[in-house]
Amino acid sequence: MIKKFFFRKSSNKKYQNRKNLDDFDEYKIIKTLQKEYDEVFIIKTNTKIKSNDFIEHQETINYNTEYFVRVLNFQKNEIKQKITILNDLRNLIYALKNVEFNTIEGSFFSSKSVKKVDNDFSRKLRNSSEYLNDLDKASKNKKIKSIETSYVEATEEVFNENSYYKYSYNDFIISYYLVQGTGSLSFNHSFPYLHLDKILQKLDDDLKEVDFVAKQRSIDLSKVKVVKFSPSLFHHFASELIFESLRDANIYKNLTFLNENVEVSDQLKFIDVPFKGMNNLNYDFEFTKVQPHNILKNGKFSPFVSKFYLSALRYKFKNSNLDINLYGHYFGKTSYRTLLMQSMPKKHEWYNFYNPSQLAEEDTLVIDSVMGLHTANSKTTEFSVVIDNAYFNNTYTQGQIISGNLLKLLKNIIIEKEVELNSDYRMHSVSFSSKDLNLVQN
Amino acid sequence: MTPESFISFVDEINEFLSRKVRFDYSINASYRKKSGLEINNGKVSETLLGSNYGLGIRIITSQKEYLISLNNFYNWKQKLYSEIEKIRGKEIEYFISSYKKEIYFGNDVFKEPSFKDLKDLATLDLKEDYHSKTIYSGELNIFASRNSRILQYFPRSVFALEVFSKKIQDYGFKKDAKISYIDKLNVEKTKEDALKQMKDLEIAKPFSGGKYDVLSNSILTGVFIHEALGHASESDLVYKEESCLKGKLNQKIAAENVNVYDSALGLDDYLWGTFSYDDEGIIAQRTQIINNGVLKNYLVSLRMYHKFAKNLCLKPTGNSRIGNYNEFPLVRMTNTYIEKGDYSKEELFEELRNGIYMVDSRGGQVNTATGSFQFKAALGYVVKNGKILYPIKGTSLKGNILETLNNIVAIGKEYGEDSSGTCGKNSASVPVGGKNPEIIIKSAIVGGNDD
């Protein structure tokens, strides 16, 4: 039985006080299109980004508007879909006329209704000229090779026949790159609001640390007893191997190690939390309410979290309510994204920010970053990468090759200290016996 | 908005800026129409048609550069005026071009192929599971300043194919990308190559890493020369001390037989990174980076010329590029290649004798500051006594740029396939290409999956 999406009229007071649905240009277009299509979705994104590069002395103001439009026709046991992406709705009729339907076999699992929302995650920054001046002063240090900030104000609006939702958000993004001799340190973080005091403190600490990094030397690998992945490296592994394996297209192509039978250490838990933190979201772009997902619990992966609504139909999966395109590329399309991935620890020991030396223990190689992890095999989880920054017995080092199999490692993992990598996402450092990994001098 | 009305609109904005802005400025505008189609095992799984236009206005003062970009032109005069009014600083002369040009890399670039044509092209007669994608994009890029207006029209076509093996749960991947209409895409060869890669992967053995002599095929050589040498020769990275080539001009950095070029003029065809003028209005050229093993040039933008390269007696090389109108131009490669040598294919295998033949690329990474790199090959072959014995999987090429360049002992006499792709830098992506010969690298570090 094929059912149509069903939505209630908006109950959002702010929105109702301001305008009627019919006053939006988008709804006028939806009414025209309804003569030809059973269902019309329009997603409009407005962004204003102000960026500063304090070393290059460059300033950018970017105003951007994008529309993602999806129309559907329902027929017996199949759905026909057209998608077009543009920045001017005046081109929409032409685009839809010229793009072909593709067909999705199957039927909807259930009809849906949503509450109307008008989320506003905007937070006030302190006076912008004040933070610009602070960072401009800090950038005079010769070890700083780049220091950049971006302030993003964005609004997403989703329109459908009887529904509307809108949410706004702010991001503050800062990155810097420090070089002293052959040593370097980089920092890149996003915040829903500004923690400038913490950042300046971190910058100050890193300016001291990079002198230490510059004194790096080769190490005797035979002395390494334990290998520790820093929280950012563990997150990098999770992103490249676990989340790449969760993508619907990779599941469809069977390019994933995940299945219900895969078991790893029961100490480890991964959860994706969509309605907390910077990537706040109550409803996905198919008007489906989002929900937290246990990606890994009690040692077992949930292999089907990536199934969003239309993919679910295409690939005959169950919907996981995560069809979003929050920072989608202009020519992109909606697809599964993790929103706020966290590893939930059994131990808690918080750092706001860290350097590898803070995680050190005797005869333990603390690896903070590697090169080439994206070339790892998401089917077998085998990887072979080059260490870019590591710490061992009071010295920094780099250049060694490390290889192994992540799945095997996760079976014998030891959870270490938890770190808050930015204001709202958490990850651990984790340890393995050096016997479980291959270390080779480059 | 049609391409013609967009050009008129850019002219109107240029006229407005010439009256309101007292500083040197430029406009980078783009108008793109894209249609694409994906096929899973003979069935259309996605169709897409999109259009996108917008412009960025770059304003140069002696203290700072500003970029104001927009794609929604409602109230544009007010938006621009409010931002322009805030700009302070002294005037400088910056842009040097004075051109009125229209350059076509194809006719009727905005005449999209029908979805039937796209479908016919991407539907293959294959027993194996496959996923294919065909994309056509018509692009108009505009550079305009107080004295110039350069229009460049590009037709871009891509065909990409993955052929899956149920036996090993892996796939062969090949693509063809051309500055042309879709009829120039070589689908049949792409299919044969992807199928062969998949069949060889099915019988490939695990491999232990170590030091080996390596014969790198043209695609992997292209990736190596682009990622390892090309990025390190970008003058902005040299200026920021993020390149291991800083201070090495006119020094020997590679084996004597090595000559490396970056050429936006293409090689014998419009390669993927071809254009006529860069995004600061500088005419495209062929730049020799390495001459007989000696570093002769960095890739220089107009900006880097003003900042430091003129002190080294270097000229702008026409390598300033944007990925999108809302970005500052950066120093970017175009088509980068090693000049062909004098070894035939047979002679290369004979010279290698015992080692690894590494084929194609599945991604990689480089640290231009330290010079270390890691590139994964799609497939490898063990070579004994100059003959291929069997395929191996999971191999990657690792090492240091300068050491590896000095260990190139033989270069093939034929250019291979175009290693076209998209190059990312600071979140900006531009099309790049290059046809390279096969090369032998002595004592290379090869990573394996059975280390």
Cβ distance B51 to A331 less than 8 Å, yes or no, reads no
Cβ distance B451 to A399 less than 8 Å, yes or no, reads no
Cα gap A15→A9, rounded to integer Å:
11
pLDDT digits (tens, 9 = 90+) for B382-401: 999 999 999 999 899 988 99
B376–chain A Cβ distance below 8 A for any pair: yes
CA distance B31 to chain A (A): 11
Residues 393-412 of A with CB under 8 A from B: 398-399, 401, 403
Residue B66 is predicted with a pLDDT of: 96
Residue A158 is predicted with a pLDDT of: 78
| ipTM of the shown complex | 0.84
CA distance A280 to chain B (A): 23
Interface test with B, best of A375, A397, A401 (most B CBs within 10 A): A375
List the single residue in A46, A82, A379 with the smallest CB-CB distance to B169. A379
Phi, psi of B290 (to 5 degrees): -120, 130
Give yes or no for residue A330 having a pLDDT over 60: no
Beta strands in B149-230 (DSSP E): 149-165, 170-178, 210-216
Give yes or no for residue A301 having a pLDDT over 80: no
Contacts of residue A236, defined as CB under 8 A and 6 or more positions apart, other chains included, come to: A369, A370, A373
CA distance A114 to chain B (A): 27
Per the CB < 8 A criterion, the answer to whether A349 and A339 are in contact is no
Give yes or no for residue A122 having a pLDDT over 80: no
Interface test with A, best of B80, B165, B367, B393 (most A CBs within 10 A): B367
DSSP-based three-state secondary structure for A178: strand
Residues 270-309 of A with CB under 8 A from B: none
Q: In B, which residues are within 8 Å of A382 by CB distance?
A: 394, 449
**Token representation of residue B281:** 């209005």
The DSSP output letter for B230 is: I
A145–chain B Cβ distance below 8 A for any pair: yes
B248 versus A138: which is more confidently predicted? B248
Interface test with B, best of A331, A377, A440 (most B CBs within 10 A): A331
B246–chain A Cβ distance below 8 A for any pair: no
Residue A321 is predicted with a pLDDT of: 41
Average pLDDT, chain A: 73
Nearest to A272 by CA among A308, A309, A313: A308
Residues 430-449 of B with CB under 8 A from A: 445, 447-449
Cα gap A87→B420, rounded to integer Å:
28
A244–chain B Cβ distance below 8 A for any pair: no
For residue A287, what pLDDT band results from cuts at 50, 70 and 90?
Answer: low
List the single residue in B46, B162, B373 with the smallest CB-CB distance to A102. B46
Cα gap B16→B11, rounded to integer Å:
9
Quick one: what percent of chain A has pLDDT higher than 70?
A: 66
CA distance A251 to chain B (A): 11
List the single residue in A82, A145, A388 with the smallest CB-CB distance to B240. A145
Give yes or no for residue A240 having a pLDDT over 50: yes
Cβ distance A375 to B364 less than 8 Å, yes or no, reads yes
CA distance A385 to chain B (A): 7
Helix and strand counts by DSSP (H, E) for chain B = 10, 24
Nearest to B57 by CA among B139, B154, B138, B146: B146
Q: In B, which residues are within 8 Å of A58 by CB distance?
A: 64-67, 328
Cα gap B283→B272, rounded to integer Å:
17
Residue A269 is predicted with a pLDDT of: 78
Residues 38-97 of A with CB under 8 A from B: 46, 55-66, 82-88, 90-91, 95
Cβ distance B66 to A254 less than 8 Å, yes or no, reads no
Q: In B, which residues are within 8 Å of A46 by CB distance?
A: 72
Closest residue of chain B to A88, computed from CA coordinates: B72
Cβ distance A63 to B164 less than 8 Å, yes or no, reads no
Residue A115 is predicted with a pLDDT of: 44
Residue A331 is predicted with a pLDDT of: 30
Closest residue of chain A to B330, computed from CA coordinates: A56
Residues lower than pLDDT 50 in chain B: 451
pLDDT digits (tens, 9 = 90+) for A377-413: 888 888 988 898 999 999 999 888 898 999 899 888 8
Average pLDDT value for residue range A36-43:
85
For the stretch B8-17, what's the b/e string if a residue is b when 16 or more beta carbons lie within 10 angstroms of its beta carbon?
ebbeebbeeb
Strand partners, B450: none
Residues in chain B: 451
- CA angle, A167 then A170 then A172, to 5°: 160
Nearest to A176 by CA among A201, A148, A152, A215: A148
Contacts of residue A157, defined as CB under 8 A and 6 or more positions apart, other chains included, come to: A26, A43, A44, A45, A46, A164, A165, A166
Cβ distance A58 to B372 less than 8 Å, yes or no, reads no
A266–chain B Cβ distance below 8 A for any pair: no
Per the CB < 8 A criterion, the answer to whether A284 and A324 are in contact is yes
**Token representation of residue B173:** 């991947």
B132–chain A Cβ distance below 8 A for any pair: no
3-state helix, strand, coil in chain A (%, to 5): 25, 35, 40
Phi, psi of B254 (to 5 degrees): -145, 170
Contacts of residue A256, defined as CB under 8 A and 6 or more positions apart, other chains included, come to: A245, A246, A250, A303, A378, A379
CA distance B358 to chain A (A): 15
CA distance A372 to chain B (A): 5
List the single residue in A87, A374, A380 with the smallest CB-CB distance to B71. A87
Give yes or no for residue A134 having a pLDDT over 90: no
Residue A8 is predicted with a pLDDT of: 32
Cα gap B343→B322, rounded to integer Å:
38
Residues 55-84 of B with CB under 8 A from A: 63-72, 79, 83
Nearest to A432 by CA among A380, A383, A372: A383
Cβ distance A371 to B72 less than 8 Å, yes or no, reads no
* Amino acid, res. B166: K
